[in-house]
Amino acid sequence: MRIQPSQFPLAPRHAVLDRPMTPPFPAGSRTLGLGLGCFWGAEKCFWNEPGVVTTAVGYAGGHAANPTYRDVCAGATGHAEVVLVVFDGDDALLERLLDVFWESHDPTQGMRQGNDVGSQYRSAIYVADDKELGLARSSRDRYQEALGRAGYGKITTEIATGRDFYYAEDYHQQYLVRNPAGYCGLGGTGVCAR
């Protein structure tokens, strides 16, 4: 995933982790873009995971540069709401973060998550290279088996490399810390990834 400079002024530090949300990140850091519905609740799933350096919310997977929240919600850009997860670790940590991703939403719902309907709420994994692409696809296949045993349908998650990440406006960053009673429609299937 290619991280684009923010077009919006952002807080200098993450509201939970007290670390920068924009590059440069510590040497050896890796990035992952995850779409699992509304990014407010999705970000909260990852910021306290061991090995996570920082998180931020934004837009990826579309065709327009520098989208705004209004553009994305109108469905005009093709972007998904995603969480940028910056982590410091090996492939085992990446696989664990993917398990959190699968367990935190229902990846069989297509262009929606619960009451949130539209292509911006689709399930998506955006990785850096072909090796990570293989790991993401393997994790999908494992989770598909578990979902099938539980009676769920086919996973619709988009998995890709080479996508641009655009930061969302500052008021979306760590939204549920700034707005503890804020909306979170995120819900998993109850099916374990392992």
Cβ atoms of 34 and 46 within 8 Å: the answer is yes
CA distance 99 to 53: 18
Category of 61 on φ-ψ map: left (φ > 0), alpha (ψ -120 to 50) or beta:
left
> Is omega for the bond preceding 26 within 30 degrees of 0, making it cis?
no
8 A C-beta contact, residue 125 and residue 32: yes
In DSSP terms, 2 is beta-bridged to 164
Q: Considering only CA atoms, which of 54, 49, 10, 15 is closest in space to residue 31?
A: 54
The single residue of 38, 45, 184, 192 carrying the catalytic annotation is 38
Q: Answer yes or no: 45 catalytic.
A: no
Q: In this structure, are residues 43 and 174 in contact, taking their beta carbons and an 8 Å threshold?
A: yes
Instruction: Give the residue numbers marked as catalytic.
Output: 38
